[in-house]
Homo-oligomer: A and B are copies of this chain.
């Protein structure tokens, strides 16, 4: 049994780590920390996690003793504690934005703060960077929107087919986190659709990093809050380069099959089949479909993930499995909760 600790375990991603690790056969959660919940049993905050004996503790990084640590801390807070955690010999999966960027200048522009850590990290999208993750000590776990957006469009840019991608995403409200606000007040969400940060969401920079924008491809992104608890449905509208305007949906599908055919967590939909949030709800799977081209040369790709699982804690566990040398799918094989 490997031991893992969760720093900042009071939010939804902490709860999801606890939920999924509770049935992981090779790993035990030995520590959960929270400054403001110090001394409180876990089920007072995560009511589905009962009879574990776990109690939140307020601990310093240097006091943590675990094989692997998840930092479910806010942007900016992670980079202040990760270096100390690495010094304890633990491997670290960071769920904040702090370790996702190759170029810290991009981080500083979009997150509005100085980047003060030089710990080396890998972008934790195993389907693209599995080999690098195996050798790493620190993984920057991808953002929720980027996970759905990158996976659904990567073969297009990797094969140089398109020069523009518009990503129109619809997210469940759990993506806004556990803290209430006017934005997440039920009457503002129920029976409503709320676009936000329509031209300047910071996840755009993470998507651009992975989809070769701006150099080769113009990548745009607009997110919408929909009355859904969990899940991100992404519709990608791409424009074929002139030299590829005769490519068929079938040829595009073949490129996706080549890229993802052996991936346990990625499922390509049948022709005409639409991916649904319910099919991946609560699971680490990614459903990708679309593969249609309209009369204007626009290619439509679709993807669905659970924002808290493949978009956060599930992917973090997938990264943990790789870092600890375990089977990558351990603890993550449960199917989506349809309906």
Contacts and interface: CB of A to CB of B under 8 A. Distances in A.
A103 to B, nearest CB: 16
A48 B193 contact: no
Contact of A227 (B186, B290, B302, B336): B186
Contacts of A231: 191-193
Interface string A172-184: 1110001111101
29 contacts: A15-B339, A19-B334, A22-B334, A48-B278, A48-B280, A48-B335, A164-B239, A170-B170, A173-B190, A180-B181, A185-B185, A185-B186, A186-B186, A188-B278, A191-B230, A191-B277, A191-B278, A193-B233, A195-B235, A195-B274, A200-B292, A200-B294, A214-B295, A218-B296, A224-B235, A226-B227, A229-B278, A230-B339, A281-B337
Interface string A63-97: 00000000000000000000000000000000000
A323 interface: no
Contacts of A181: 180
A228 interface: yes
Contact of A47 (B12, B51, B338): B338
A158 interface: no
Interface string A287-304: 100101111111010100
A338 to B, nearest CB: 4
A213 B51 CA distance: 34
A132 to B, nearest CB: 27
Categorize the interface residue count of chain A: 35 or more
Interface string A198-231: 1110001000000001100011101010111111
Given A168-B168, A193-B231, A227-B228, A23 B220 contact: no
Given A12-B187, A47-B338, A227-B227, 15 more contacts: A15-B338, A22-B334, A44-B270, A178-B187, A180-B181, A184-B186, A186-B229, A187-B229, A189-B190, A191-B278, A193-B226, A198-B302, A199-B298, A218-B297, A227-B228
Given A173-B187, A187-B174, A191-B190, A198 B290 contact: yes
Nearest to A301: B198
**Complex A-B, nearest 4 residue pairs according to Cβ-Cβ distance, in ascending order:** A187-B339, A193-B233, A199-B294, A199-B292
A237 to B, nearest CB: 5
A339 B302 CA distance: 24
Nearest to A290: B198
Contacts of A335: 18-19, 22-23, 48-49
Interface of A: 12, 15, 18-19, 22-23, 44, 46-51, 164, 166, 168, 170, 172-174, 178-182, 184-196, 198-200, 204, 213-214, 218-220, 222, 224, 226-231, 233, 235, 237, 239, 267, 270, 273-274, 276-283, 285, 287, 290, 292-298, 300, 302, 333-339
A222 B170 CA distance: 13
B233 A267 contact: no
A172 B187 CA distance: 9
A40 B290 CA distance: 22
Contacts of A44: 270
